[in-house]
Structure 1
Amino acid sequence: MTLLQDSARTRRRRLGVASAAAGLLAALLAAGPASATPDPGDGNKAPKSVSRTVEKQAEAAIAAGDIPGQDEVVHSANIEHLTNIPKDALPGTNSDLAFQGKYAFAGNYDGFRIFDISDPKAPKTVAQVLCPGSQNDITVSGNLLFLSTDSSRSDNSCASTTQPATEKSSWEGMKVFDISDKRNPKYVAAVETACGSHTHTLVPEKKNVYVYVSSYSPSATFPDCQPPHDGISVIKVPRDAPEKAAVVGFPVLFPGEGPDGGGNPGGPTNPGVSKTTGCHDITVLPSKDLAAGACMGDGILFSIKDPEHPKVIDQVQDNVNFAFWHSATFNQKANKVVFTDELGGGGAATCNAAVGPDRGADGIYDIVGKGDQRKLVFKSYFKIPRHQADTENCVAHNGSLIPVKGKDIMVQAWYQGGVSVWDFTDSAQPKEIGYFERGPLSTDAIRTGGSWSAYYYNGYIYSNDIAKGFDVLKLSDRRTDPAQRVRMDELNVQTQPDYFA
């Protein structure tokens, strides 16, 4: 473990020769925007070979100390790496995280794992549930756990196998588990949804839990995923009878004429931008009856006063720098939204000089106006200030607020770019204030890895690393120390709490 403060590694890295960097960018753009999960299967993504030139560049950067060595852990002085728990019985890709009391719930393409985090320095595995179905986006509410399935399966059981989406009998959607006994979760319900469930977001109420299901990429050849797919599925789950869970609506968020609805048309009209055929992820702020949707080629702000009938307030596009609107985070006052751009679908090296600071980044938007007249106004981009090797998949990904009253600070995953803590209190001048990362998994190929989700919960940062497992970090900084006094009983990051209500 190496502690860095003012060394060359903390400054912006200039890796590679201009010709190689330009070639990488050209290839990325020519390929067009990838989906958020380039490989829709259940297994780990296959390594992508790189040229000998790129391999030599990565090796030279390590030798020069410009980037960490393979698997070497480095971090800023205000972050301590407490522990890492490697993957165990679930070898697939690690995905999202949720929290409840003393437990952390970690999604994996092969199922999910429950950790007892009573002692954050020594988490203990409570249960591992085998239930394949990418990407197993995960949330919890009370005694219920929800799991997204976004790969075509032979049936809705946890023993299902891969089956083509062109077959009518194939299944994708939401699974519901009873977790009243954390050591023995019980599968209690399944709800099929159009185009599956890539991600989902909870809108919890006392008697029911509403689930907003985000999915995309319809095809005329898919019986259960027909175009236009311009909305989201809304599932209603009775807490006392989860087996009665059912779809209660499909609100159209992008009305329009023609087979593709009214979202961003993508290329060739907007080259290098995803066509909007649904949403990738939604974050709700129930205390303000607001939601923000990251919807492929569009970012939207909408009202959820009536959770079964959400209403779009504003819709924005960035056809210059945003390829794939991936996720959204409100600040505490609900007068800003941070949207992420998952350029390259999470499988490409975009944290380099060739791609630059404005693509594969965060976009910070102020919310101005009142009520249904509110508008999203772009202010700036944020991207980690450390170039990565061209063998490291790196792009903006999942993060959460760090609850500091009067400040806008969040922690965020960047795949092999690691974990970044950054301040966007000044929307136009965001800045990084801490980081944690590992060196490249490989210098001879792009091997998918790094932090999928990095979230702050009850005084610690928890990161689910695709390849390396479950990391726990301790952040000690006068700017964020007040957050240690904030305690939550439950946290699903895409259902943002009002920390200071």
Structure 2
Amino acid sequence: MNVQKQRNIEVLSHTDQGGRADGLQIMVTDGYAYVAHMFSGGFSVLDVRDPRNPKTVRHVPAPPNTWSIHLQQHEDLLLVINAVDLFKLYTDESEYYGGNIGDSYHRIPKNYAAGLRVYDISKRDEPREIGFMPVEGLGLHRIWYVGGRYAYVSAHVDGYIDYIFMVIDMSDPTKPVEVGRWALPGMNAAAGETPSWGADQRYALHHGLEANGIVYSAWRDGGLVLLDVKDPTKPEMLSHLNWNPPFGGGTHSCLPLPNRGLVVVADEAVADECADGVKYTWVVDVRDPRHPVTISTFPTPDEDDYATLGGHFGPHNLHENRPGSFQSDTLIFATYQNAGVRVFDISNQFRPEEVAYFVPGPPEKMFDTRPNRPKVAHSADVFVDPNGVMYLSDWNCGLYILEYKG
């Protein structure tokens, strides 16, 4: 295994996931990890009952030209997105991140899958597809599902310029069905709406997490939106907070901490060597959900000159505090792309402190299919189990299984 640097984190093991070392979102349950692939397609199942000796037991391929990069697990269900593989259409990242993906229809192949795929994982190492909900459009991007009747997704559907918010009824997992949707004003082109933002801005839902009837959602250059979903068929906006401009946008991930009236919000770095500016992870006071207020930012990693290292430097994903995983109102686990995974203590919400980090070394093999990508870490997602064991994915470096020692 290739380790660049670490603090207060022990490496338990590393795996190339059966020769598919590219990964994105991770779910872990009952000693099995489900890892979505960024470039290899589909997802893999790993036996991690012994976290020091992980074993890849199965790969479930995606349909041709299809992303299955995000997934959610609850009890015996695994929900997996299907969308057109946009990185096959955009080799220049500035095109993907810098405009509406609805403008890309002329590039799209005829054979791809778009929608929500549902698997029965009652046999943890043998996912069995039991349902599929197609959508007319480019497909889904991310999901939030922790059981119950509803899943909350970002979806591109015909008529909208980019990804919007959608509610899916999962009461019959073999037949998921849309029951509600919401979009920022200006996104519904089919209804004659036009954007009020610039052509170089991308207003699009990345995803949202629900807590106590409120979805905390990240809209890329559109900022943070709090949605009331007490009636899931009629989502209503409670508030909209956008710090872009003057900051660089790319709002990506939200982690509500309802017991403290806070939400942690990460802005994604989307350009090499900080060409889009230094991005931040924000702490937002949402005690009054109609009047959110930013109160602090996480410290930016500085033990190395990550901004000039190559690739992306800055926030990406946050450990989601899911039921059955490690849950904390004070410890936040966050991926920072070429700066690996970081752990922050926000006991004092006005002065977050970094308490641990782990940075993989350069990948041994590049799985990123796009030309001229720098050979550096691109840590993508982190899942933390109840014992503090961390599962860290990377676009090229494989899966690291770590233990937080704080």
TM-score higher than 0.5: yes
- Counterpart residue type for residue 301 of structure 2: I
Counterpart residue number, 2:175:
244
SS at match of 1:343: coil
> Identity, % of aligned pairs?
22
Q: Is the 8 A contact 1:412 1:454 kept in 2?
A: yes
Report how far residue 192 of structure 1 moved.
Answer: 1.8
1:455 maps to a residue whose letter is: F
Displacement of 1:262 in angstroms is 8.2
CA 118–263 in structure 1, closer or farther in 2 if over 3 Å, else same: farther
* Residues 127, 338 of structure 1: alpha-carbon distance in 2 compared, 3 angstrom cutoff: same
Paired residue for 1:124?
Answer: 55
1:404 positional shift: 6.9
Secondary structure of the 1:349 match is: helix
Take 1:190 and 1:257, find their aligned partners in 2: how far apart are those partners?
A: 26
- Residue 9 of structure 2 corresponds to which residue in structure 1? 79
CA distance, structure 1, for counterparts of residue 345 and residue 131 of structure 2: 41
Whether 1:112 and 2:43 are equivalent positions in the alignment is: yes
For the residues of structure 2 that align with 1:101 and 1:290, how far apart are their CA atoms? 29
CA drift of 1:139 comes to 0.8
State how 1:458-473 maps to structure 2 within 5 Å: 458-459=386-387, 460-473=389-402
Distance 2:192 2:266 in 1: 23
Q: CA deviation at 1:96?
A: 0.1
Are residues 150 and 334 of structure 1, via their aligned partners in 2, closer, same or farther at CA, if it must alter by over 3 Å? farther
SS in 2 for 1:197: strand
Q: Distance in 2 between matches of 1:167 and 1:445?
A: 24
- Residue deviations 1:50-99, cap 9 Å, x none? xxxxxxxxxxxxxxxxxxxxx443201x21111101132546x3110112
Computed over aligned residues only, the root mean square deviation of the Cα atoms, in angstroms, reads 3.1
Q: 1:395 aligns with which of 314, 319, 327?
A: 314
- Shift of residue 401, structure 1, vs aligned partner: 6.0
Q: Distance in 1 between matches of 2:287 and 2:396?
A: 41
1:476 is the counterpart of 2:392:
no
Q: Which among 314, 332, 336 is matched to residue 414 of structure 1?
A: 336
Q: Which residue of 2 aligns with 1:426?
A: 348
1:432 is displaced (CA, Å) by 0.7
CA contact (8 A) 1:420 1:435 kept: yes
- Return the alpha-carbon distance in structure 2 between the equivalents of residues 463 and 264 of structure 1: 37
Cα distance per residue 1:139-189 (max 9 Å; x no partner): 112222111122169xxxxxxxxx976577754121111212223212222
2:327·2:386 contact (CA, 8 Å) conserved in 1?
Answer: no
Corresponding residue number in structure 2 for 1:326 = 252
Alignment of 1:95-244 (within 5 A): 95-109=24-38, 110-132=41-63, 133-151=66-84, 171-193=113-135, 194-202=137-145, 204-205=147-148, 208=149, 210-216=150-156, 225-228=158-161, 231-238=164-171, 241-244=172-175
> CA separation of 1:147/1:355 partners in 2, compared to 1, >3 Å: closer, same or farther?
closer
Change (3 A) 1:393 1:275: closer
Q: State the distance in 2 between where 1:391 and 1:337 align.
A: 30
Question: What is the deviation of 1:122?
Answer: 1.7
Q: Is the 8 A contact 2:391 2:401 kept in 1?
A: yes
> C-alpha distance in 1, partners of 2:85/2:360?
33
Aligned partner of residue 114 in structure 1, secondary structure: strand
Does the 8 A contact of 1:79 with 1:434 survive in 2? yes
Say whether residues 1:309 and 2:234 are aligned partners: yes
CA contact (8 A) 2:37 2:68 kept: yes
Residues 89 and 265 of structure 1: is their aligned pair in 2 closer, same or farther, counting only changes over 3 Å?
farther
1:400-430: CA deviation from partner (whole Å, max 9, x where unpaired):
267576x521111112210100122323321
Which letter maps to 2:182? V
In the superposition, relative to structure 1, how do residues 113 and 204 fare at CA in structure 2: closer, same or farther (>3 Å)?
Answer: same
One-letter code aligned to 1:409: L
Point out where structure 1 has 5 or more consecutive residues left out of the alignment. Answer: 2-70, 154-162, 217-223, 478-501
Instruction: Give the secondary-structure state (helix, strand or coil) at the position aligned to 1:243.
Output: coil
Deviation for aligned residue 1:374: 3.2
Cα distance in 2, alignment partners of residues 172 and 461 from structure 1:
31
Deviation at 1:126, TM superposition (A): 3.1
Query: Is the CA contact 1:325–1:339 (under 8 Å) kept in the aligned structure 2?
Result: yes
Gaps of at least 5 residues in structure 2 are 87-104, 365-371
Q: State the distance in 1 between where 2:139 and 2:373 align.
A: 31
Whether the 8 Å contact between 2:269 and 2:313 is mirrored in structure 1 is no
1:463 deviates by 0.6
| Per-residue CA distance 1:168-224 (angstroms, 9 max, x = gap) | 77541211112122232122222122431111111521xx4x2222135xxxxxxx5
Distance 1:112 1:83 in 2: 20
**Counterparts in 2 of 1:394 and 1:430: CA distance versus 1, 3 Å:** same
Tell me if 1:255 matches 2:185. Answer: yes
Distance 1:336 1:139 in 2: 23
SS at match of 1:333: helix
Give 1:398's aligned amino acid: N
Asked if structure 2 preserves the Cα contact closer than 8 Å seen for 1:391 and 1:440, the reply is: no
Q: Does 1:292 align with 2:225?
A: no
Q: Corresponding residue for 1:160?
A: none
| 8 Å Cα contact 2:133-2:175 kept in structure 1 | no
Residue by residue over 1:21-56, the C-alpha shift from the partner in whole angstroms, topping out at 9 and shown as x without a partner, is xxxxxxxxxxxxxxxxxxxxxxxxxxxxxxxxxxxx
How far off its partner does 1:447 sit? 3.6
**Contact 1:176–1:188 at 8 Å: present in 2 too?**
yes
CA distance in 2, matches of 1:262, 1:324: 22
Provide the aligned length of Structure 1 versus Structure 2: 365
Question: Which residue of structure 2 lines up, in the alignment, with residue 384 of structure 1?
Answer: 301
Displacement of 1:327: 1.0
Amino acid at match of 1:341: D
Once the 2 structures are TM-superposed, how far is the Cα of residue 395 of structure 1 from its aligned partner? 2.1
Q: What TM-score, normalized to structure 2?
A: 0.80
**Is the 8 Å Cα contact of residues 95 and 108 (structure 1) preserved in structure 2?**
yes
Larger Rg: 1
- How far apart are the structure 2 equivalents of 1:355 and 1:246? 38
Give the match for residue 349 of structure 1. Answer: 273
Per the alignment, residue 363 of structure 1 pairs with 282
